[in-house]
Amino acid sequence: MSIKRLAKNKKLLTLIAVAAVVTFMTIPLFLDAIYVPVIIMYHSVNEEGMELDGYEAKLNVSPAAFAKQMKFLHERNYNVIPLAEFIERIERGENIPRMTVAITFDDGLKNNFLHALPVLKKYNFPATIFVATDFVGKEGYLTRDDIKIMQENNISIGSHTVSHNWLPALDEKSIHKELWDSKKLLEEMTGREIKTLSYPLGGYNEKVKKIARKAGYIGAVATNPGRRQPKNDIFALKRIRISMTSDNLLVFLIETSGYYAFIKEIRDED
pLDDT tens per residue, range 71-98: 999 999 999 999 999 999 999 999 888 8
Shared domain check, 126 and 2: no
Report which residue type is found at 189. M
Q: Is the dihedral of CA 162, 167, 171, 175 positive or negative?
A: positive
Shared domain check, 95 and 179: yes
What pLDDT is stored for residue 218 in this prediction?
98
Phi, psi of 89 (to 5 degrees): -65, -45
Number of structural domains found in the chain: 2
Full domain range(s) for residue 94: 36-269
What pLDDT is stored for residue 270 in this prediction?
47
What pLDDT is stored for residue 184 in this prediction?
98
Shared domain check, 232 and 149: yes
What pTM did the predictor assign?
Answer: 0.87
123: CB partners within 8 A, 6+ apart: 70, 71, 73, 74, 80
For the chain, which residues score pLDDT lower than 70?
1-33, 49-57, 225-228, 265-270
What pLDDT is stored for residue 244 in this prediction?
84
Shared domain check, 221 and 117: yes
181: CB partners within 8 A, 6+ apart: 133, 162
Enter the DSSP assignment of 48.
Answer: T
Alpha-carbon distance of 212 to 199, in angstroms, equals: 10
Alpha-carbon distance of 147 to 108, in angstroms, equals: 9
- The closest of 98, 103, 66, 105 to 85, measured between CA atoms, is 103
Q: Which CATH number do you get for residue 78?
A: 3.20.20.370
- Nearest-5° angle of CA 124, CA 125, CA 131? 125
Shared domain check, 65 and 6: no
